A and B are shown apart, each in its own frame.
Chain A
Amino acid sequence: MTIRNALRDHGQRYRPRMACLKKAEKVLLEMQDPCTGVKSQPQRLVITIIPHAITGEDIIAWLADRFQIDAQEARSFGSMLVALGYIYPLQDHKRLVIKPDASLYRFQTPYFWPTQQWPVEDTDYAIYLAKRNIRKKGILELHEQEQYNHLHKWMNHKWDFVVMQAKEQYRAAKERKKPDRVVFDCQERAYWVVHRPPPGTVSAMDYGLDRRTDPNTDETQTPDYYERIMIFTQQSIMRPRVKSSVSIGALVKYSATYSGHDPFLSKCLPSNPWLTDDTTYWTLNMSNVEIPTKMRVERWTFSFKELLSDPRGRDDFRLFLKKEFSGENLAFWEGCEDLKWGTAVAMREKAEQIYKTFLARGAPRWINIDGKTMEITVKGLKHPHRYVLDAAQTHIYMLMKKDSYGRYLKSPVFKETLKKAICPEEHKFNEVQLEQNARNRRPSLSPIIIRQQEQEQRAKMAANAPVDITQLCRFTTPVPHLAVYTGIPDPPSVTASPSLPFLAHTPVCPSPISVALDSTSASERRMEASDGEGNTEVRAPEGGNLSKSRMALSLRRLLKRGCSPSTMFASLSPKCHTAATTSSRIQPITPDEASQAPPRRIGNFFQIKVDIPPECRIYPIESEDEDEENRPASRDAVGTEEIICPWESLTRQNGTG
């Protein structure tokens, strides 16, 4: 085509390339052949006889014969032609399928064939609706009425034209003979059924978003074009290579694992909603369903990614982690995801929250990441961006994957879920039932509503969150100041409740490096801890003595029990500020902060400093006044009020120490 629409088309509406259209046109032309084409018959209406009607079974038979395929495939091919709009049904014009019986169809005129070159104009649709309005004397169908009102509103400036043109076209159409008028009306209606499908109709031209560039144009060979080719080839040379045995092996493994779960390749239980219009499959597999299906649970065993990406699987895993008292890992991971995918406005605040909850020393849900990662993260948090927690998130992800995931798959939680999982029976619908299902198609819940429900659920979970009790980290050496924090409402995702009442907390499983650092400055700490914590009520020495004895007691109990010290800790914590440690160094902590002022920030409870001068701030991204508020009593005599940020101090320490 030499003359294209591109001159006037200033919008970028190039569609995904539909190569099937040209091929379908060829098939259509072959069907027209009087000798070898589809046999046509006249359609008898009350008074008139209109020629060139073809039956569904004839079409299917011809397709099967021409392409040497079986009847089922011919039927799908025929349905495709109808869905694209090359053939339209005369009865039941809204269902764009081929029925393998004597129901009648007709070919569409080339002007109304689907093309990508000529975008479907709303002006034309408005004219069509106006014409239909005239013919039907104001009684349009519901979706047509809605479209009419909508077009009238936004195309108001052209409405005079629309009305004039509609009247003229109507009068011009009246000039023709009756059979031709009928045919023309049916053609136009069929065209608009394909391009503006009524609710519940599936038209094949409903393909989604348009592409930015026209795939059909030839690209001009500018220097820029060649430069892009060069860059691409250079990058291809530098790409790391994998042996084909490895990559093919991975492909084979993937195909073998997933082939049973692919709805194209194997049966979808109970039935594929796209084929049978029955939505049981979707309701059974919703994200908040109580009892998952067996197939779904099987998918969780394939990889950790599968488990996490399925909301129900994630819930199950969270439950397991709660029982194992390592829920903070998953919570941190989810918080990082939230940060990555959330809005830019809330990013800074979210990053701050996450740091306070998970990363800061003494955080309520401290996660165990190595010092290097921690350093990188803290440095990045100075200027938080979307991916600032990526390193830490990856670390935690690998930790969960290598450690918790394996235990989860052997855990009673998982086994229970697996036992309860249901395996729905396959539906066997006959034709009548299928038609009924098609008629009863209803739109599902809007995604906006679903998102709102999810948010409400999250808020609810945050509001009455269970106590998150951590335990000794099995894999780190005993550290001087292991703390337990109890009574902390623990939101499943960090962003849910901005103001978390923080109680006493110190890290449970501090990283090895901080442990090392701790030990070097333990004396310093003890000094800090023992002398006047201005903001604590219970005096340290007394508490210390008391706590010492209690510590020993609890320690013995802990060593006996090994793994679930929850009850013991719970009994201990409200009364006194003890920390379960395995060493003799006892650091009195001040959970009584909680009693005085529950919604205190984390800074209050930082009695245990690792290596940073006492005056220094805890969070890299805090404001000045908060610092004032959090440091009512200065630590010791050094007393310079210089605010040093943790990451700066860390680097200093690491440089020197």
Chain B
Amino acid sequence: MGKEECKTMLDALNKVTACYRHLVIALGSTSDSQNLREELKKTRKKAQELAVANRTKLTTLLKDKTISKEDRAEYERLWVLFSSSMELLEVDMKRSLEIGQDFPLKVPTRHLIQTGMTGSTNVVAARAMSVQNMKYEADSNIDTADLRDLQTEITQVSQMMEEMEMKVQVAPWAVVAKQEAGAELKSNMSVGNSSVGVISICEEEPKDDEGGGGREGGSGSIGAVVVFFVIVAVALVLGYLVVNM
């Protein structure tokens, strides 16, 4: 039904927004490249498609006067989700325009900021586009053409948001969130091995980071205790054998 569709579309928009942000953060740094610009462009297009779809759906749902109160509250909540996503997206797009203009790629000597990020971002883009691998088919004037497109897209998005506010009368502050504080911890976020490794590395850097140190100490001590017991058990077995012999 309408709600489920809405939710899935919103999830998709959310995902794309998050990935777009990651990509924009990499702009201007040493992981910037032609590919990144192209990824940005594609992600943007996808985001806009999703946005338009979401908007039409939600607008029709909200304009319907015959829905019940709970339904309306739910749709309003979804609307707030949608508009917050769009705000984030809009700001990111504007910033990518600004940074893209400041850090052109097709100049003889390009000074990209040496941020330490050198890897490519194609996995992030692939996640956004929901494909396995990204295909790149951009032409060489990605800089200027892309930026012009970007400007038009930004104006489109701004207009869309203005229209949204005009047409739909939703008071965002009246919406009650379903998630309580700390809800992000309750998700099925399995912290895999790789992430544990990364966490410990990142905590190593600052020497006075208490949280990481504490956790590391805890796991270390548990390991030590286990090893100790193993050794004690082995010693007992050997001793028994020696005694019996």
Contact = CB atoms under 8 A, between A and B. Distances in A.
A161 B172 CA distance: 12
Interface string B147-175: 00001001100100110000000001111
| Chain B interface mostly | helix
A180 B118 contact: yes
Contacts, number: 219
A473 interface: no
Nearest to A30: B111
A474 interface: no
A290 interface: no
A91 B98 contact: no
A52 B14 contact: no
Contacts of A183: 115-117
Given A91-B207, A158-B84, A7 B116 contact: no
Interface in A71-99: 90-94
A107 interface: yes
Interface stretch (B22-30, B53-61, B136-144, B228-236): B22-30
A169 B18 contact: yes
A180 B119 contact: yes
Contacts of A112: 25
Interface centre among A29, A156, A172 (most CB of B within 10 A): A172
Size band of the interface chain A makes with B: 35 or more
A107 B113 contact: yes
A90 B116 CA distance: 12
A170 B14 CA distance: 12
B227 interface: no
A168 B20 CA distance: 11
Contact of A168 (B18, B29, B198): B18
A46 B116 contact: no
Contacts of A91: 205-207
A51 interface: yes
Interface string B176-188: 1111011111010
Interface string B182-210: 11110101010011011111101111101
A133 B30 CA distance: 29
B177 A7 contact: no
B202 A182 contact: yes
Interface in A132-183: 133-139, 141, 148-149, 152, 156-161, 163-183
Size band of the interface chain B makes with A: 35 or more
A326 interface: no
Interface in B218-242: none
A92 B111 contact: no
B11 interface: yes
Given A92-B207, A134-B189, A110 B201 contact: no
Given A109-B115, A157-B177, A138 B185 contact: yes
B176 A157 contact: yes
Given A8-B158, A111-B27, A186 B202 contact: yes
A173 to B, nearest CB: 7
A540 interface: no
B84 A178 contact: no
B181 A152 contact: yes
A439 to B, nearest CB: 10
Interface of A: 1-3, 5, 7-8, 28-29, 32-33, 40, 43, 45-48, 50-53, 90-94, 106-112, 117-118, 121, 123, 130-131, 133-139, 141, 148-149, 152, 156-161, 163-187
Given A51-B114, A160-B179, 9 more contacts: A43-B116, A45-B204, A94-B208, A109-B117, A118-B94, A135-B199, A159-B177, A165-B17, A182-B205
Interface of B: 11, 14-15, 17-19, 21-22, 24-31, 77, 80-81, 84-85, 87-88, 90-91, 94-95, 97-99, 102-103, 111-119, 121, 123-124, 127-128, 151, 154-155, 158, 161-162, 172-179, 181-185, 187, 189, 191, 194-195, 197-202, 204-208, 210-211, 214-215
Q: Nearest 7 CB-CB pairs, A to B?
A: A110-B28, A168-B18, A159-B177, A52-B114, A161-B84, A175-B123, A52-B116
7 contacts: A1-B98, A3-B97, A51-B114, A93-B205, A141-B211, A179-B119, A183-B117
